[in-house]
Structure 1
Amino acid sequence: MPIYAISHHKGGAGKTTSTVHIVGELKPDITIDLDIHEGVSVINQLRPDDKKWNVLAINNKEKLISVLRELDDQGKTVVIDCGGFDADINRVAVAVADVVIVPANDTVTEQIGLAKFDKVLAEISKQMNVELNAKIMFCKTEPNQKHFPDMEDTLKKVKHMSLLNSRLSYRRGRYGFTQSLRQGMGITEIKHGRASAAGKEVVALVKELRELVENGK
């Protein structure tokens, strides 16, 4: 059962927006919403009735563990949108995930958040007796930006995160990453969206995530 967790205990990093686009392309069997704001659940209500996702909002650790055990027995593919806070329920999601995606940009506040999240990953690794390696995904960065000195400095210091090749850039206009959300859709689900620059980024991201699961990384 592949589990993809979008997690970062800093709020406003882009977890829910990223989750919607990933789910729209990946098409998991179920999406679990752990955010107290239930952003994915709300966005799902904007979708046409015949296109609604199977979204389950969960607000306690015991329920999450029970649901994941059941889904594991069924071999389902799961995407988890974690809340922007540090709590046991989010730590469970991170601990069981095959791939942990950490949306972030190159601002100072984001780098501070990543350093703190790395400590959380270290604690989970110690508790689970494993070495977690979450995947940082550039989110809300300028499409043409190639050099990220602050992130490069952070990557030298963290022990439980590495950088994905794919990113979800900050894009404006009809095919920007926020526009399709008004319809409850990921960018690759709307007409001509898959062929747009944003759509191509999502396709590349999901392809990379699937390869990570297949290769057990």
Structure 2
Amino acid sequence: MKTITIAHSKGGVSKSTLAWNLAIALRMSGLRVALVDIDGQQVTLEKTSLARTASGYDPFPVIIASSAGELSSIIMKEDYDIVIIDAGGYDYDLGRVAIAIADRIVVPISEESTEVLGFTSFLGTLHTIAEHSPVPAVMIVITRAHARAKSFAGIRSAAALWPSATIAQTVMRRRAVYSASMGHGFGVTELAERHPDAAYEMYRLAREIIYEQY
């Protein structure tokens, strides 16, 4: 089993969007996936799950964990192949636990200056964790990028501050289908016939996150 924690020190950076779509893509690939929300300050995933149930589609419940014990019990179960943890956009004890116990930390970030600056703040949290235990592999996922954007110089400069961090080759482009699909409880991979580019993008990103060597 692998545990993926999606984290950033700032809210609104597409953590929940990535967590939901990644979980759907992996489940559609035949894996047993647990989607865990540890952010008590927002309910995006819970609302998305409820919208899915209301649509009459096959349920995908979100597991809420509010303590380190609850989180550990989920990870220790043999019911899942993958556990995806959506952490809050701030520094808190349970978020640090989720980072420390993960096999990989995934950090979504766009070219917006506030998100790049927020990432440098997040690195401070990683340094603090590293004082007590090894920090898992860090993968940066570029999100909400314009269609023709390619260089991402600001993000690459920030990533270099954590020498072992990698940047996913797959970029989550700015696509309206991401928010639209979540509003109805779907993942973009379930809408492949109408949105093949977004579906391909997410499947490719899922393979990178899960299968690239740690």
- TM-score after normalising by structure 1: 0.87
Could you tell me which residue of structure 1 aligns to residue 110 of structure 2?
105
SS of residue in 2 equivalent to 1:179 = helix
Q: Quick check: 1:122–1:160 contact (8 Å CA) kept in 2?
A: no
Aligned residue pairs total 207
- CA distance in 1 between counterparts of 2:166 and 2:33 reads 27
**Is the partner of 2:84 in helix, strand or coil?**
strand
Contact 1:143 1:171 (C-alpha < 8 Å) held by counterparts: no
Provide the C-alpha distance between the structure 2 equivalents of 1:157 and 1:50, rounded to a whole number of angstroms.
43
Q: Is the 8 A contact 1:15 1:81 kept in 2?
A: yes
Q: Which amino acid aligns with 1:3?
A: T
Q: State how far apart, in whole Å, the 1-side matches of 2:211 and 2:48 are.
A: 28
TM superposition shift of 1:89 = 0.8
Query: For structure 2, which runs of at least 5 residues remain unmatched after alignment?
Result: none
Could you say which residue in structure 2 is the equivalent of 1:39?
A: 44
Change in CA separation of 1:88 and 1:50 when aligned onto 2, cut-off 3 Å: same
| Percent pairwise identity | 24
User: Equivalent residue for 1:89?
Assistant: 94
Instruction: Detail structure 1 runs of 4+ shifted over 6 Å in the superposition.
Output: none
What secondary structure is seen at the aligned counterpart in 1 of 2:202? helix
Instruction: Say whether the 8 Å CA contact 2:103–2:137 is kept in structure 1.
Output: no
Offset from partner CA, 1:128-162 (integer Å, 9 cap, x none): 1x243311100111122011121122123234532
Q: Distance in 2 between matches of 1:18 and 1:206?
A: 10
What secondary structure is seen at the aligned counterpart in 2 of 1:79? strand
RMSD value over aligned CA atoms? 1.8
Find the counterpart in structure 1 of residue 140 from structure 2.
Answer: 136
Whether 1:22 aligns to 2:29 is: no
CA distance in 2, matches of 1:113, 1:191: 33
Distance 2:131 2:84 in 1: 24
CA distance in 2, matches of 1:85, 1:211: 28
1:38–1:57 CA contact under 8 A, matched in 2: no
Match for residue 10 of structure 1?
10
Spell out the pairing of 1:23-172 with structure 2 (5 A cutoff): 23-27=23-27, 28-36=32-40, 37-48=42-53, 49=56, 51-69=58-76, 71=77, 73-74=78-79, 76-128=81-133, 130-159=134-163, 161-172=165-176
In 2, Cα distance between equivalents of 1:82 and 1:98: 15
User: How many angstroms apart in 1 are the aligned matches of 2:39 and 2:110?
Assistant: 20
TM-score by length of 2: 0.88
Instruction: After superposition, give the CA deviation of every residue in 1:19-61 in whole Å (9 maximum; x if it has no partner).
Output: 1111110124311111221211111011135511132111222
Measure the CA separation in 1 of the matches of 2:125 and 2:36.
21
**CA–CA separation in structure 2 for the residues paired with 1:118 and 1:68:** 25
Q: Could you tell me how far apart the structure 1 residues matched to 2:88 and 2:191 are?
A: 27
Which ranges in structure 1 are unaligned for 5 or more consecutive residues? none
Structure 1 residues 54 and 30: alpha-carbon distance in aligned structure 2, compared to 1, 3 A threshold: farther
